[in-house]
Amino acid sequence: MGKKRIYEIAKELNISSQELLKELKELDIDVKSHASTLSEEEYELIKELYLGEKEKSKEKEKKESKDRLLPRPPVVTVMGHVDHGKTTLLDAIRKTNFVAQEYGEITQHIGAYQVELPQGKITFIDTPGHEAFTTLRARGAQVTDIVVLVIAADDGVQPQTVEAINHAKNAGTPIVVAINKIDKPNANPQKVKTQLMEYGLIPEEMGGDVLVSEISALKKIGIEDLLENILLQAELLELKADPNVPAKAVIIETRVSKGEGPCGTVIVKEGTLKAGQPFIAGLTWGKVRRMKNYKGETLKEAPPSTPVEVLGFESLPQAGDTLEVVKNEREAKKIAEERIRKTKRMQRSPTLSWELIKEKLEGKEVKEVPVIIKGDTQGSVEALRSSIEKLSNEEIKIKCIHEGVGNVNRSDVLLAYTARGIIIGFNVGKENEVESISRTYGVKINIYRLIYDAIQETEKFINSLKAPALEQVKIGEAEIRRVFQVPKWGKVAGCYVLSGKVKRGAECRIKRGEEVIFEGVLSSLKRFKDDVKEVSEGYECGIGFEDFTDFQEGDVIEVFEWRERPR
């Protein structure tokens, strides 16, 4: 190992140089300054001391956290093509669960409900469809654990079925399939299972890992088998949460109740939500005045995965907002006001998806760009997908996460936003509201009339994502001519700029003769008493460095920056 200086080791261990110097002196290791070096044995000793203790602390914290986790019920969303029986299935499950209830008992629609089986509970979000699923995800709420994909046995896989599959896959959510309408004369469940394999969903009976139930939601056939499959899938996921931490919940539905004010249906993600607790939710706040479940019963507390309607919001929250319990109402109000101020400051045109993609891919070795392709015919969709995927290279991989025939719709925009992907359309239009939704979420939709144009523009974008070749460029040099002790600031180097310019925040190195004694950041820069951003050649200035004060008169400061090398 080449010898390392104190400031380099401190940076590696994520501590200050002063802290490291103090520790070394306590270990009787003789060091004089930040620029001193350690022997290999001394370096290994201090590294083991710091990192060893850090790892032990992490392991202990991890074990204690794991011990507090308890099993929780799965949260399920039902998806599928229109008219394949999603709503009928949700109704059938609800009614099956309420058989034991007294005649005439009324259930309350709060956007979610729970069923209870001998093997455990299941929470269903009572808003079928992949659009609701993706809308919540677009607002940062990952609430669904399992997707139940409903496919009619007499109709098979349809466009919205494919959309639902792609939305679930993009979210990384496991799918349980319910082949519905098996009571129909022309039902063909086997054909559906074969079709599923084309989309990477291989049923368990065919050697895959996808659980499939054959049902009739209308005649309540196979419902129990489906519920058992959901619980089996949940068992494989090992769903757990800590019921004793401050509660966090996701808002899935909101309404204004006559005489009671703003209400929100939430599903508790972790912790236990209790009556009387103050909370913050998006841009609003409140106190849990009352909680009601789907039966209309008032609850005092709601553990993880429990759906409840909460009364006590100061104003109406939005679906997808996270409700978090805080210490008191004063803190809740303060956080909400700060969020509102921040939102007003940031109210400008949304970032376009191109920039969102760059942000997502920053620092990744292999960059994967999700693409949604819509075209006027299946042939043109396949041709465009084939051409676009060929643009992949060793740095950038193009992944088509959804394709379809027809106009760009709301679902496409939401999927593009949550995946940080791009939409490419060929000879198609946009459905109603798509323009405004795309502006809201900052998704740019690219429609082309020539495949050549689509390929050329996409290639330009792909090339812009490639990591630039960088080179270090020296921009200035200064000499330390005096060393000052400034109250409140400590040691400051009085300098004269020999060439170029010095810039605050720039990377620098300090040389004493030919020896480099410090490499770091030029943290403060002054002209007389004023803070300045840069000082040019021929002028005097005061310079301070990040975690380094062992400089002296005659030392030379080299200032540099990284610039993109022309390709």
473-522 residue pLDDT tens: 899 999 999 998 877 667 889 999 999 999 988 888 999 988 888 888 88
Determine the 3-state secondary structure of 155 from DSSP. coil
Residue 130 has pLDDT above 70, yes or no: no
Give the Cα separation of 177 and 196 in Å (integer). 9
Q: Could you give the percent of the chain with pLDDT greater than 90? A: 40
Confidence band of 105 (pLDDT split at 50, 70, 90):
very low
Distance of CA 110 to the CA centre of its chain: 27
DSSP H or E run through 527:
strand 515-527
Closest CA to 474 of 501, 513, 505, 510: 501
Please name which of 176, 192, 183 lies closest in space to residue 216, comparing C-alpha atoms.
Answer: 183
pLDDT of residue 286: 94
Residue 544 near residue 489 (C-beta atoms within 8 A)? yes
- Domain 71-241 coded CATH 3.40.50.300: yes
β-strand partners of 70: 241
Half-sphere exposure of 168 (CA within 13 A, CB side): 28
- Residue 256: its H or E element: strand 248-257
CA 382/CA 391 separation, integer angstroms: 15
pLDDT tens column, 295-339 = 889 999 999 999 999 999 999 888 888 999 999 999 999 998 888
138: CB partners within 8 A, 6+ apart: 320, 414, 417, 418, 441
Q: Write the DSSP assignment of 472-519 as a string of letters.
A: EEEEEEEEEEEEEEETTTEEEEEEEEEEEEEETT-EEEEEETTEEEEE
Query: In the prediction, which pLDDT does 359 show?
Result: 59
Does domain 470-564 fall under CATH 1.10.3720.10? My reply is no
Q: Which of the given ranges, 19-33, 48-62, 182-196, 536-550, has the highest pLDDT on average?
A: 182-196
Beta bridge mates, 125: 77, 112
On the question of pLDDT at 210 being above 90, the answer is yes
Number of Cβ within a 10 Å radius of residue 531:
10
Distance of alpha carbon 289 from alpha carbon 282, whole angstroms: 18
Q: Domain 248-345 sits in which CATH superfamily?
A: Translation factors (2.40.30.10)
CATH number for the domain whose boundaries are 4-67: 1.10.10.2480
Q: CATH topology of 248-345 equal to that of 470-564?
A: yes
Q: Domains of the chain: which residue ranges? A: 4-67, 71-241, 248-345, 353-465, 470-564
Confidence check: pLDDT of 3 > 70: no
What pTM value is reported for the model?
A: 0.64
* 422-426/367-375 β-pairing: parallel
Contact 420, 360 (CB under 8 A): yes
What CATH number was assigned to the domain covering residues 353-465? 3.40.50.10050
More confident residue, 284 or 462: 284
CA distances to 155, 523, 557 from 18, in Å: 72, 17, 22
